[in-house]
Each structure stands twice: as C-alpha cells, then as structure tokens.
Amino acid sequence: MVTNIQTRLLGRDVSFPVEESRFAYWLVVMRLIVGWWFLHAGLDKFLAWPFDASWFVGGAAAGTSLAPIVTLFSDGIMLSFVNVMVPLGQTLIGLGLIVGALTRLAAFFGAFLMTFFYFINGETGGWAHGVITGDLLGLLIFAMIATLGAGRVLGVDAYLAKTEFVRNHPRMRYLIG
C-alpha cells in the first residue's frame, strides 16, 4: 500500500511515496497516549479540587523568560482564571485527542501549554539535563499530531469533516484533524 505524501520544503516539491501500512495504527497510538497524558493531568486536578496554580505562575515562573506574561496571572481574578483553565484545558485537550475531535485545535493548545511547562520547568531547573527535555518532546509531539491531522483515523473528525458546517466553513479544516 503506497501513499503519496505531497509536500514542499524551501520552495521545492519534495513529495515522496511511502509504503507504510502501519501509518494509521501509529497515529492512533500516539493520539491515545498523549491524550491520556493530558486527560489524566486534568482529571487529577478536578478530583483533588480546589486546584491552586499560584506556586507555578507566581512562584516558579518568577525570574524566567516567561515571567513578564505569566506572573500577570499570579493573583486575583487572573489566578482564578488559570486555576480553572489549566485543568479544564488539559481535560479537553486530552478528550479531544482521545476521541479525535477538533484534533488540531486540541494539539495547538497542548503545544501552547507545553511551552509554559518547558520554559518554566527548564529554567527553574537551570536546564540541568540539557535543553531537550521531556516537555519539549511533548510539545513536538503535539506539533506532529497537528501537522499530520491525526483525528480522522478512528476519530470524530472523520465525521466532522463531512458535515455541512465544515463544508461551508473551510477554515474549520485547520481545527479538525
């Protein structure tokens, strides 16, 4: 089974044929594992409610390169927003990946959250184990899921792609798998 991957790099057509019958299998495995990673992280916080992110956005983030933005969320209503949005976001990202619904949107926000974890965990740890950390690899896997549009294999996005709404709003294709 040969699939022709049509793709470009630096202005050149570098399309290539791939004989890979396990492509779909791997997309689903990757989605399920990464999805469970985030669903678990989100549900854990809801099950141990209330969740308080102040140690991260106020404490750990201070002095890092993201401090000017992140510390704005360290108290008051902004902190309350983060306390809800982090577990809610993680749960929805995880669910989205597992059921393959709005997969690219979920993967984008997964990468968005990982950016904060990567820099704040890395910088507070002094990059003691180098700059390629598990957080960066997680971020890259989210980017890969978004690039491959992995939601249409055994996913709700396969159904969404055929709906009248998506047909009438082509930009939705950037959000689904």
Per residue, the 3-state secondary structure of the chain, as one string, reads CEEEECCEECCEECCEEEECCCHHHHHHHHHHHHHHHHHHHHHHHHHCCCCCCHHHHHHHCCCCCCHHHHHHHCCHHHHHHHHHHHHHHHHHHHHHHHHCCCHHHHHHHHHHHHHHHHHHHHHHCCCCCCCCCHHHHHHHHHHHHHHHCHHHCCCHHHHHCCCHHHHHCHHHHHCCC
User: Smaller CB distance to another protein: residue 17 or 76?
Assistant: 17
Based on the shown chain and the rule CB under 8 A, indicate whether residue 171 belongs to the binding site for another protein. Answer: yes
Q: For another protein, which residue of 2, 11, 49, 77 counts as binding (CB under 8 A)? A: 11
Q: For another protein, which residue of 7, 12, 19, 50 counts as binding (CB under 8 A)? A: 7
Instruction: Choose the stretch contacting another protein; rule: CB under 8 A; options: 22-30, 36-44, 47-55, 115-123.
Output: 115-123
Based on the shown chain and the rule CB under 8 A, indicate whether residue 124 belongs to the binding site for another protein. Answer: no
Based on the shown chain and the rule CB under 8 A, indicate whether residue 112 belongs to the binding site for another protein. Answer: yes
User: Smaller CB distance to another protein: residue 18 or 132?
Assistant: 132
CB of 81 to another protein, least distance (A): 21
Based on the shown chain and the rule CB under 8 A, indicate whether residue 108 belongs to the binding site for another protein. Answer: yes
Largest Cα span, the chain: 57
Give the footprint of another protein on this chain (CB under 8 A): 6-8, 10-11, 13, 64-66, 108, 111-112, 115, 119, 122-123, 126-132, 136, 139, 143, 146, 167, 170-171, 173-175
